[in-house]
Structure 1
Amino acid sequence: MRTLAFGAAVVALLLSAPVALAHQGNPHYRSLVTSVTPAVKGVDVSVLNFDDRLLMHNTSGQDITILDYQNKPYAQLLKDGTVQVNTNSEAYYLNEDRLGETSVPKGLGSEPKWKQLSRSSRFEWHDHRAHWMGKSDPPNLKDKSVKTKIDNWTVPIQVAGDKGTIAGTLTWVPLDEGGLPVGAIFAFAALLIALSIAVFIIRRRRADGDGDGGGDGGAPQKKKEVVEAW
């Protein structure tokens, strides 16, 4: 049973690894927050995994609302630390997929329907305004060997009811050709997992073998002790 459970766990790791990689940002792109307005002490916004997600940390003592692609409330970081998201916002569904291809339920209410996520004062989300959405290269990317600014981006917010903006830039960055490709990294990880399985099975068989030998070896030992007694 232990071997079966271990094998199932390894299979789960192998299946989940490519999914995890798929949700990482694109290392060729660098999304960078350049400003947050109004400038309020205790409000910090950064980009995670190159261009994948935005992270806001609010310790300002003010309520902050992040607006969606229709300028409607999407998420809130309240002054008491509560973090909640509006499940009636299309962004709640679209942000689950990097290309925004997740289907949005029909008939979403016009009034916010808040779902509490935590009381951590921190919220991270995938925002399509902060990365390149196209499946092909940006039109202004003429030479991939040259660092190229792709676009400026903005995410509208409200701070204590006042309109504001998270502003940033998106840049293409050529990678060192000597770097290890993501596919090779995953292949190496899979190899390590396979080796771990092999080691586990070998040790398991040896342990089972030692157990069988121990049971048979008891009698000869006892016989030897009787002969020495004579």
Structure 2
Amino acid sequence: MVRVIAVAAVALCVAALTATPASAHEGDPDYESLVTNSGPKGLEVRVLSGDDRLEVRNQTGEIVVIEGYDGEPYARLFPDGRVQVNERSPATYLNEDPRGDVDVPAIADAEAQPRWRTVEGNGRFEFHDHRIHWMNDADPPKVREDPSARQKVYDWTVPVTVAGTPAAIDGTLWWRGTGGGTPTAAFVLLGIVIVGGIALIVVVRRRRARPTTKAEAW
């Protein structure tokens, strides 16, 4: 029984070291997307969960329009805090899934007149923009050549307009780098668990092997 407990503890430790979190709102832990230019003054932009999605806040005092993948108006943020999405933009549907794995309805047409729907009232809009993260199943060729090193994958741009004037949100996607494998601290922790389990087995076996005295019998 003790041996089973020790082995289970080791297995749990290994699982903790190798497992990756699963979440509906979590990016790829191997990549990091960073904003290098938020665009015009008053436009606040950041990447959430590494490379998962963009968060945009409009403090410009003007109407900000975010363009979709075909240059169509995708979303707009008003100075009063209203946020609207264009139901005719294909990006409205593609951005619902981190991988864009959705069926785009027939209503979506980048050339059609926009049909706006209000989705927020706090001036904040976050969305999966597929321009900011790696979409292929296979890693980039240069990453496969040397996965241990941190390296740039590509620069990205999300076009916007502010009061009708073209502008852009710019950034860079990075491969974080594996750093050559499992950190030393992880191996130290695993070693402590293994040694502790062995010590526990030894102590219990010695106690079982000790002869029982009359006093103990009483």
Give the TM-score, by structure 2 length.
Answer: 0.69
- Is 1:72 aligned with 2:72? yes
Give the match's secondary structure for 1:45. strand
Which residue of 122, 128, 131 corresponds with 2:130? Answer: 128
The match for 2:98 is 98
Can you give the 5+ residue segments of structure 2 that lack an aligned partner in the other structure?
1-19, 187-218
Alignment of 1:34-49 (within 5 A): 34-37=36-39, 39-40=40-41, 42-49=42-49
Distance 1:52 1:24, change over 3 A: same
2:171 matches 1:168 = yes
- Amino acid paired to 1:94: L
Does the C-alpha gap of structure 1 residues 165 and 19 become closer, same or farther in structure 2, counting only changes over 3 Å? same
C-alpha separation in 2, matches of 1:143 and 1:82: 45
Secondary structure of 2:97's aligned partner: coil
Q: Does the residue aligned with 2:141 lie in a helix, a strand or coil?
A: coil
- Residues 67, 74 of structure 1: 8 Å contact kept: yes
Corresponding residue for 2:32? 30
The structural deviation recorded for 1:43 is: 1.1
Q: Which stretch shows the higher mean deviation, 66-75 or 136-145? A: 136-145
Task: Deviation per CA, 1:19-38: give whole Å up to 9, x if none.
Answer: 9625410111110010133x
What is the aligned partner in structure 2 of residue 158 from structure 1?
161
Tell me, yes or no, if the aligned pair for 1:36 and 1:164 is still in contact at 8 Å: no
The one-letter code matched in structure 2 to 1:81 is: G
Identify if the C-alpha distance between structure 1 residues 107 and 117 changes in structure 2 by more than 3 Å, giving closer, same or farther.
closer
Q: 2:150 aligns with which of 144, 147, 150?
A: 147
Taking structure 1 as reference, are residues 174 and 19 closer, same or farther at Cα in structure 2, changes over 3 Å only?
A: closer
Give structure 1 stretches of 5+ with no counterpart: 1-17, 181-230
Amino acid at match of 1:138: P
Structure 1 residue runs of 4 or more that deviate by more than 3 Å after TM superposition: none
Aligned equivalent of 1:85: 85
Q: Alpha-carbon deviations, 1:124-165, whole Å to 9, x = none? A: 000000000101111221211100100000000001100011
Question: What code does the residue aligned with 2:159 have?
Answer: P
Which position in structure 2 is the counterpart of 1:194?
none
Root-mean-square deviation (Å): 2.0
Once the two structures are TM-superposed, the CA of residue 47 in structure 1 deviates from its matched residue by 0.2
Instruction: Report the Cα distance in structure 2 between the residues aligned to 1:20 and 1:75, rounded to whole angstroms.
Output: 28
TM-score, structure 1 length as denominator? 0.66
Q: Distance in 2 between matches of 1:175 and 1:83?
A: 39
Aligned residues: 161
Identity of aligned residues (%): 45
Deviations 1:111-136 (A, max 9, x none): 11111012101100000000001011
The whole-number CA distance in structure 1 between the counterparts of 2:150 and 2:78 is 39
Aligned counterparts of 2:86 and 2:178: Cα–Cα separation in 1: 38
Using the TM superposition, give the Cα deviation of residue 175 of structure 1 relative to its aligned residue in structure 2, in angstroms.
4.3
In the aligned structure 2, how far is the partner of 1:87 from the partner of 1:19?
33
Matched, 1:137 2:120: no
**Aligned: 1:56 with 2:59:** no
Higher-helix-fraction structure:
1
